[in-house]
Structure 1
Amino acid sequence: MELAKRLKLRHFAQYIWTHYLAGSLPNRCLLCHQSLSADKSGICSVCLQACLYRTPICLGCGKSMLIQIDYCGECQKQAPIKVIAPCSYHQGLGPWIAAIKYQRQLAALPVLCEALAERIRQLEQQGLVTFPQAILPVPLHPKRLRQRGFNQAWLIAKELSHSLNLPLVDNSLRRIQDTKPQAGLTGAQRRRNLYDAFELESEFTYQRIALIDDVVTTGTTIAEISRLFEARFVQVQVWCLARAEAPGLLDDLDVI
């Protein structure tokens, strides 16, 4: 209980620190270095638009499509978990998203979160996704949280909670194993690494939730977490700042 209180205070401090830090940085675009207006920070609108998805994207695998429906032909066979992201990790914004986690460079966080929120709104208006009842950040193990000092997924979830007026639930899903970092592992190694790494409290009452993370790569983390929710018949979708899809998926259009 005492640890939970300390972590909640830490999360609050993270949020204050994020906005303070973002406001104290030079007000220039991180990509083109042009000056930004006083009410903007991180990335200018021109650079942002250049890095966002330019074609309809399959919500299952991230493949380019001719028209925006939920799944490409291949994904329609299995209807995988829907992953909503505003951009590809490989098309310009990847280094700045990585810098949030690894270098504590948070200036781009608000504008990227708003791009994600706008993407969610668009898909909801098109009837391709349904707003969840609550959003849950992918948790860090307490040891990793102490080492890093913040959970980037929680910071993203806090921004989205405010933008979309959705409750943020950060005390029901826990990471109970201090696993190795996923970067550099093969698919099989990722699955073994995360097996039974998470725990969901017994009294979980929501039926539709969105998991929040910074990047989705192979989907191993969300698959392991989703297994816990699906066992309780909870509908899961995933919201992230970017998707690191398999090579070539954005190059070939799927004919519907």
Structure 2
Amino acid sequence: MPSINNSINITHILRLCVKRIQRARVILLGSLPNRCLLCQQRIDQMDYEQLFANQVLTGVCQVCLAASLYQHEVCLGCGREIALLQAYCGKCLKHTPNVVVAPCSYHQGLGPLIAAIKYQQQCAPLNAITQQLACRIALLIKHGIIRRPQVLIPVPLHPNRLRQRGFNQAWLIAKQLSRLTGIPLDDSCLTRVVDTEPQTGLAGKQRRKNCHGAFQLQAEIRYQRVALIDDVVTTGTTVDEISRLFNAQFVHVQTWCLARAEAPGLLD
């Protein structure tokens, strides 16, 4: 029977092996051809690993990434620019809409990359953008603007759409966020029961009609605070429909996404 000291030594050796494998992976990935999908320049890792341990920047360079992130504070209700770090602008304070947290605007740089993740299975930039979302979340939690949820719930696809696409980008984002934040992922309590047509190109009223009754909670929810995870929030119709289900069980909902597609003219 192994002694306690031998068990400790084996554990220590295994941890060292894991660290060395992770380091070798970073070196290998960093040496492979890696160009930014926006500017087509070779991606220089610089000090990226110091910011995100054992991570390699892929799909988007640091210059394009930094230029595409919000350069100012935004309202978590409508996405409008605001002067101070707070939840809502004056207009949204009157009706306190659902909170939407994103690191950038869909219209100001990263939109083509996020669309490519969904429609072209080009997932190279997904980790980098998700890491920026995690940083934004950490800042808002630190300053008490939002509360840390108990669980992450990816917006589900209908089984037909999942078979057609082959993956759910919201699930991939939620998985990465769970690893970065330590918040567990639950993909079993919410399902999409209606195979709705794509929301792209639909007007607001059409979107609401399209999403009505499309989702279902599987059982009584045991959480008090949840975060819905999606790639993009446009009018908020999808997350509003899901939030209605959770609110009926007195569950607080916020939405985390890679980017927000604000209303036309809002950022002018």
TM-score (norm 1): 0.87
What's the offset of the Cα at 1:33? 2.3
Q: Deviations over 1:6-53 (max 9, x none)?
A: xxxxxxxxxxxxxxxxx6983112222222246321111111110000
| Counterparts of 1:45 and 1:112, CA distance in 2 | 11
RMSD: 1.5
| Counterparts of 1:115 and 1:248, CA distance in 2 | 25
Q: Give the number of equivalent residue pairs.
A: 230
Which of residues 178, 184, 195 is equivalent to 1:161?
A: 178
1:250 aligns with 2:267: yes
Whether the aligned pair in 1 keeps the contact of 2:230 and 2:256 (CA below 8 Å) is yes
RCO higher in structure (CA 8 A, sep ≥6): 1
Which of residues 94, 100, 104 is equivalent to 2:117?
A: 100
| Counterparts of 1:26 and 1:230, CA distance in 2 | 47
Q: Partner residue of 1:41?
A: 58
Match for 1:77: what amino acid? K
1:29 aligns with 2:46: no
Q: Partner residue of 2:145?
A: 128
Q: Partner residue of 2:248?
A: 231
Q: Deviations over 1:169-196 (max 9, x none)?
A: 0011000000111111111111111111
| Counterparts of 1:31 and 1:99, CA distance in 2 | 12
Q: Partner residue of 1:51?
A: 68
| Counterparts of 1:229 and 1:129, CA distance in 2 | 18
Whether the aligned pair in 1 keeps the contact of 2:44 and 2:61 (CA below 8 Å) is no
The unaligned stretches of length 5 or more in structure 1 are 1-22, 252-256
Q: Partner residue of 1:6?
A: none
1:178 aligns with 2:195: yes
TM-score (norm 2): 0.83
| Counterparts of 2:57 and 2:164, CA distance in 1 | 31
| Counterparts of 2:147 and 2:264, CA distance in 1 | 29
| Counterparts of 1:193 and 1:248, CA distance in 2 | 25
Identity, in percent, stands at 61
The unaligned stretches of length 5 or more in structure 2 are 1-28, 46-55
| Counterparts of 1:219 and 1:40, CA distance in 2 | 30
Partner SS, residue 80 of structure 2? coil
Match for 2:71: what amino acid? R
| Counterparts of 2:245 and 2:33, CA distance in 1 | 43
Structure 1 or 2, whichever has the larger Rg, is: 2
Q: Deviations over 1:47-80 (max 9, x none)?
A: 1110000111000000001112110000000111
Q: Partner residue of 1:240?
A: 257
Partner SS, residue 122 of structure 1? helix
| Counterparts of 2:191 and 2:253, CA distance in 1 | 16
